[in-house]
Amino acid sequence: MPRTIIPIGPYHPLQEEPEFFILTVEGETVVDIDLRMGYNHRGIEKLCERQAYDQVTFVVERVCGICSTSHPFAYTQAVEDILSVEAPPRARYIRTITAEGERIHSHLLWLGLAGHFLGYNTIFMWCWKLREEILDVMEILSGNRNNYAMFKVGGVWRDIKAEDIPTVLKKIDSIIPTLEKLKKAVMDDPVLHARTKGIGILSKEAAINYCALGPTARASGIARDIRKNCPYGAYAEIDWEMIVAQNGDVFDKVVVRINELFESIKIIKACLTRLPQGEIDCGIEDIPPGEGIGHIEAPRGECFHYVRSDGTNRPVRHKIRAPTFMNLPTFKETVIGGSIPDAAIILAAIDPCYCCTERMAVLNRKGEKLFTGEDLIKLSQEKTEKIKSKMGRK
């Protein structure tokens, strides 16, 4: 049978992100797949080498709009690892609440999009309506619907007010019945079963060899969750369960994510009711020479940051590894042998995030720039000097 190449991209018509899949097909069957990416590569790691430690938190927050908590969380863990300090308990709880809120909105976003990819727009509308509630909760807690700007090295910037807690708890409780209904509708839907069951199976062995992460690995029967395996934040002090499914197909990835929504709600509620009193910042001033690793469980899997300091006010090396970087190569296992319409949902099932993978950050409107790199360095140096002189230090 003759082979045909079907290009999808560079602007993906469904996922609305810049990536270029090259599907080689024989009739309806995909026999080979290749990927061209890098359309969003902006060199964040290089950019971080030019920023002061506090500024890097905001830069990495803009690696990705959806995981805007995961990157600063991993980064602050890495810098705290250089110093061998831990954030105060109240700050750890606030961080956990922010991270779980992000997980809920990210999973709902993905679930809605998955429905949309399958041509099932009812799920899309439903999920995104539910997601609004969570974004409202995040606005109450952090002041922002996205890019929460909560994290700082050694703690958090913003405390949670005691009078907000009842409102937030009420709002979270209010979405549980709808979520239950949604879960039942998705799990029992014959259309979804037909389109997702037994499709794009990632075997346990392949998931181990590709070092798959997050829900992608957990759907293939690997009990891998950084929150349980390598506890950080408040996860060790709170009772919750890791969701693992066995089949590795698209349906199990849906099941894992839906069940995780309920666990996340449980964690947020427990954190809010048991929020300890005390400081929210341990007052880190200078970073000594050394190196540190921070890894946390982002909605898509483990987010890994490596930071090396030489004693100055900015990192000499900052390596960022987003979960999609490890999850995306599994398409070689899952897509080949399937049909073309299945490829769309299989490629979406790992919840890919290209801006994370390529670490793009700042939008550039037709070449207009507010600052050049040198200006930013100058600003950063001036600000450091200003702060240091304000604190009476040289």
Q: Given the rule CB under 8 A, which residues bind other proteins?
A: 37-38, 41-43, 45-47, 50, 81, 84, 208-211, 224, 229-231, 291-293, 295, 302, 304, 306, 308, 316-317, 319, 321, 325-326, 328-329, 332, 358, 362, 364, 367, 369-373, 376
Query: Burial of 311 by CB count in 10 Å (0-12 exposed, 13-18 middle, 19+ buried)?
Result: exposed
Task: Quote the Cα angle for 155-158-162, to 5°.
Answer: 115
Dist CA 94 CA 271 (whole Å): 8
* Nearer Cβ to other proteins (14/208): 208
Half-sphere exposure at residue 299, Cβ-oriented, CA atoms within 13 angstroms? 31
Residue 293, both tokens: 């690793």
Phi and psi angles of residue 293, each rounded to the nearest 5 degrees, phi first: -125, 135
Which phi-psi region, left, alpha or beta, contains residue 16 (left: φ > 0; alpha: ψ -120 to 50)? left
Distance of closest approach, residue 34 Cβ to other proteins, in angstroms: 10
- With residue 187 as reference, give the H or E element that holds it: helix 164-188
Q: Which is nearer to other proteins, 104 or 328 (CB)?
A: 328
Query: C-beta of 81: minimal distance to other proteins in Å?
Result: 7
Q: Which is nearer to other proteins, 41 or 145 (CB)?
A: 41
Looking at the Cβ atoms of 81 and 100, the one nearer to other proteins is 81
CA distances from 240 to 264, 269, 271 (A): 8, 11, 11
Name the minimum Å distance from CB 275 to other proteins: 25
Cβ nearer to other proteins, comparing 92 with 321: 321
Residue the block writes with tokens 């891998």: 224
**Quick one: 196 or 324, whose CB is closer to other proteins?**
324
Cα–Cα–Cα angle for 213, 330, 221, rounded to 5 degrees: 50
Instruction: Name which of 201 and 272 has its Cβ closer to other proteins.
Output: 201
Residues in the chain: 394
Residue 4 Cβ vs other proteins, minimum distance, rounded to whole Å: 23
Considering the complex, what minimum distance in angstroms separates the CB of residue 204 from other proteins?
Answer: 13
For 338, what's the count of Cα atoms within 13 Å in the CB-facing half-sphere? Answer: 26
d(CA 123, CA 115): 5
CB of 14 to other proteins, least distance (A): 22
The distance of closest approach from Cβ of residue 77 to other proteins in the complex, given in angstroms and rounded to an integer, is 11
Least Cβ distance, residue 133 to other proteins (angstroms): 34
Task: Tell which residue, 381, 259, 238, has the closest CA to residue 312.
Answer: 381
Q: How far is the CB of 37 from other proteins (least distance, A)?
A: 7
By the 10 Å C-beta count (0-12 exposed, 13-18 middle, 19+ buried), 155 is classed as buried
Closest to other proteins by CB, 277 vs 372, is: 372
- Identify which of residues 146 and 380 has a Cβ nearer to other proteins in the complex: 380
